[in-house]
Amino acid sequence: MNTRLPVEHPVTECITGLDLVEQMIRVAAGEPLAFKQEDLKREGWAMECRINAEDPFRNFLPSTGRLVRYQPPAAVLEQGRETLQGEAYANGRFGGVRVDTGVYEGGEIPMFYDSMIAKLIVHGRDRGDAIAKMREALNGFVIRGISSNIPFQSALLAHPDFVSGNFNTGFIAQHYADGFRAEDVPHDDPLFLVALSVFVRRKTRERAAGISGQMAGHEVQLDSDYVAVVHQPKGQVLRHAVHVSEYAGKSGQATIRIAEREYRIECVSRLADIRLSGTVNGKPFFAQAERGTAKNPLAYRLNHNGLAIEVTVLSPRAAELHALMPYKAPPDTSKFLLSPMPGLLVQIAAQPGQTVQAGERLAVIEAMKMENILLAERDVKIAEVLAKTGESLSVDQPILRFE
């Protein structure tokens, strides 16, 4: 007998129409069940994703801090159900998008509790419909200030073996044995994100061009040709020539041409919104876009279906000059032991002058009810201890320096 309320109870509630919490309270009060097993009917397919404060690109280590932005998708999908979901909402029975959570925008995710911050539940006609709705719901789930496992959830939902149902409990060990990497996130049309970045840049320029009182001869000029510079790891870039044209005479619409591809984008969101909703070539979409990163304040960061890219949209002449800029390599941190996550430093297992062999313990960090042991990746000699036991560490804070 399992007398607790399972974490997955919303899935049962969606397909049966029962409120399990209500039934548990009634039973605890001595009331008999008002139904029999044969009265229960299962309708549709429900699915739940646990949204955790973890960094999937750092081996799912806990991520703590302030929720600078927290916008669950349920309300947006509910408001736009007819235009954004169409047939899926036609009968009203399988339109459920539900978020169970206890956090809020501006709140703190501390290191003392479990990493789960929300449960995202969808209800569809069948498994394929539920997967499609979950992917759109994840696209509309805005979390900033901490890392979350949403990119991994998106990659999982797009994996062919998961979609076909050909998986078991060894799925992660089979497909992500070496950890989860950015290149493990598939996307059926990466150029869509490039087109969307150009669309946002173009609309920003249109707004700037409409500001009154501009100095004569120095007004903001609107061009039709741009170059989208997609930033890659280690300073590499991909450059795409892009042409923009308006259509239908509406300010929220534009046609973006990249090579042989054409994207007719209509967006109903404001330029200041992180979450963008609209249609591309008549197909509804949710995506996320924001300007400025720590390394490049002029770039746009786009997220869709788990894939995140960084794009700088330039004029053709600016792109020529940008190509001449030298690459600034990041500082060498190979002589430091860095904290891979925020947490409490509970032990330093090495002292200055000590030689440590590969695989030996260096330090222990505690966060979210877990102890994380940091091991030496190679034979090293400790030169200096840079942190103290009992100190609260931030991500990438140096703990030890090697000779």
Angle at 63 between CA 62 and CA 66, to 5 degrees: 145
C-alpha span between 50 and 60 (Å, rounded) = 13
CATH topology for the 336-402 domain: OB fold (Dihydrolipoamide Acetyltransferase, E2P) (2.40.50)
Q: Which residue's structure tokens are 């955790």?
A: 52
pLDDT(56) > 60: yes
pLDDT tens string 73-131: 865 444 444 333 333 333 333 467 889 998 999 999 988 888 899 999 999 999 999 99
Q: Is the dihedral of CA 277, 282, 284, 288 positive or negative?
A: negative
Is residue 361 annotated as part of the catalytic site, yes or no?
no
Which pLDDT tens digit goes with each residue over 129-142? 999 999 999 999 99
Query: What's the CATH number for 191-208+222-322?
Result: 3.30.700.30
Q: So what's the architecture of 44-184 in CATH?
A: 2-Layer Sandwich (3.30)
Residues 313-368 have pLDDT tens digits of 999 999 999 999 888 888 888 899 999 888 899 999 989 999 999 999 999 998 87
pLDDT at 222: 85
Q: Which of 4, 181, 261, 270 is catalytic?
A: 4
Coil, helix or strand at residue 152? helix
CB atoms within 10 A of CB 103: 17
What residues are paired with 313 via a beta bridge? 228
For residue 49, give both structure tokens. Answer: 């994703």
Domain spans of the chain, in order of start: 44-184, 191-208+222-322, 336-402
Whole-prediction pTM? 0.84
Q: What is the pLDDT of residues 361-382, one digit of tens each?
A: 999 998 877 888 999 988 999 9
Which run of H or E residues covers position 311? strand 307-314
